[in-house]
Amino acid sequence: MPGFFHPVEETSGIKPLESFPVEFSRGSLSAVVSTDELAGALFVHTLIREALGEGKVYHAGPKRAFSPTILKALDVEPSNLLSANVYSADELLQALGYVEDNSTVLVSQFPTLREVSEEKLLELRKRVDEASLTLILHYETLTFNELDLPGEFTRLFILPELFDALLVLRTNSYRGHHKLNVTVLKAPPEQIASLGDHSVSIDSIVKVITGR
């Protein structure tokens, strides 16, 4: 029988970039959509870099979303980064059974997994809560309706109400300078001030990722 009540503790979290508007904390479930490849690569690699400073990091998905070359350029020690290929919601749940408590898990291309349902999302939420995981479901896509963010998150993640944070990332450049634009549609109560649109300078990170 589950223990329904337990003391509430304040938990620290991680930010991919210092100026990133949202912190991903232990025991949280987040959905992040990148609408261009640069935004996706930047988010994945900086998140892994920062999360490895806190402990083990796990990556799961139908394809590997990170580059060892880019991680090396970011001075990342990859020995605590573990990766698995999963192709369905059931396989993801099985993989999470091998994840150590209090770890960070990044799932790439989550909406493409087979048999994602309300029931499977509830199981994911349960696993996050039981193991105090930082679970981030990421989706990189070029097809995204910016005019209907609530509808898009419902289409892609079925039950956005279960998530602690919902974010959209996209990049733009002007005269050689790059910005990461972040829309925070939903945030944890303690970070509610971050709701809305944000712009983060990313020139130095872009040079590392692109190699120029």
CATH for 23-210?
Answer: 3.40.50.300
Per-residue pLDDT of the chain (212 residues; tens, 9 = 90+): 455 665 656 667 899 999 999 999 999 999 999 999 999 999 999 999 999 988 899 999 999 899 999 999 999 888 899 999 999 999 999 999 999 999 999 999 999 999 999 999 999 999 999 999 999 999 999 999 999 999 999 999 999 999 999 999 999 988 888 999 999 999 999 999 999 999 999 999 998 888 77
The pLDDT of residue 211: 78
Say what the alpha-carbon torsion angle 121, 108, 18, 128 is, to the nearest 10 degrees.
30
For the whole model, what pTM was predicted? 0.93
What is the DSSP secondary-structure string of 29-65?
A: EEEEEESSHHHHHHHHHHHHHHHHTTS-EEEEESS--
